[in-house]
Structure 1
Amino acid sequence: MVRRSKWASALSPADLEHVLGSMQERQFARGGCIARAGQLVEHWMALIDGFAKMSVASEDGRVSTLTGVSAGVWFGEGSLFKHEARRYDVFALRPTRVALMPRRTFEWLRGTSVPFNHYLQDLLNARLSLFIGALEHERLLDTDARVANCLASLFNPELYPDAPRFLEVGQTEIGLLANVSRQRVNVALQRFQALGLIRIEKRGLRVLDPGGLRDYKAESGNALAGEAERAQRPASGAA
């Protein structure tokens, strides 16, 4: 997985072997805590395989999911930059393998590799755009559009350049990522399948039209705007 990363292809063979020699691999069972909020961040992480979620929890136990994390995605660079404690939890949603790059290697790459720094800049910009979009969708769009956006976010080419079209993901997991019920996810997926955006399969779903999922929010937003406009019109025959 590391060798396939965009930044790794720009390293010399010797530098790449140096990086690989410093890294560790850990395995987590479903429900396992990959990283805990409040812990000082000492590694840059990436999922080798599996599926995880980033979430935050309030003191009274309420949990809000920030985003999903699938294979090939690196995370945790922001806290490494600022030398601060992690501000979110990361939990495995299925058996997951994680690659860990120690801080010293991360800082060495920052100091010696221009392509690595360009990759980090692109990654931060993509993640910022993802979270701004998620906030917009949470506040302005209906449930179907939020589910569509959740699925589309897993095909962001800057975060998931090699994302497979088949997602081994269950409706419960999608519900956790989109912050909606499993039953509501099922309704949305049936609609997406009828529109030719996805195909529901035995162990997950196959995305047929990632662009259509991304654009679904526009259709939903227009529908909501139309409903609001109709609600503001005076009733027919009113004095």
Structure 2
Amino acid sequence: MNSRTLPSYLVLFAFVAFFSCSQKAEQKAEAPESREASQTETTQKTILFFGNSLTAAYGIDPEDGFAGLTQSRIDSLGLDYKVINGGLSGETTAGGLSRLDWFLEDEPAIFILELGGNDGLRGIQISETKNNLLAIVDKVRSKYPDTKIILAGMQIPPNMGQEYSKEFSELYPAVAKEKNVTLIPFLLDRVGGIPELNLPDGIHPTEEGHKIVAETIWPFIEAEL
């Protein structure tokens, strides 16, 4: 190395050193914002709707279903809650029990259980449906004792016989009482059996029907926020 080339190396070294220090300074400046964003994500509470095609908003845009409408209302009120839609078309209480663990990786502040309708339509024994609902509640409570649980009551048409329909409607109050959880007496109140508020299948609500369901469930959710 001769004296003529030395200044060039010094300049290059100084540039690299300055650039490296600048990057570190930027990273340090960004770190508080990153930590702040991370803290915001972790402090946001979750409302989990766990159900079948009714929760999944079968036949319409999920954002127009009662779970999606609940998120819209929460956002409009500036509440720090995130709604998770755990609805699956065709789901039974047995199926829900088997897939529940996957949804319980993170703690829900509020857990809305909407299952059993497909059990009733298939004529599954009331005792089996009840045991599955009890087991779902137990599993949520054993993992997250502070989670507020809301049970959405259902009714079915008398296709399976009057006695079965009656026992089915009594199932939800019995589970709610036994496990001391909040009960929505009938999820489809003012919607079920009204043709203009349901899709052609007569089972799944239209967008207008979901708006009414969202209004039915909101007071129960609001009381737990």
Q: What's the TM-score once normalised by structure 1's chain length? A: 0.25
**Whose radius of gyration is greater, 1 or 2?**
2
Q: Which has the higher helix share?
A: 2
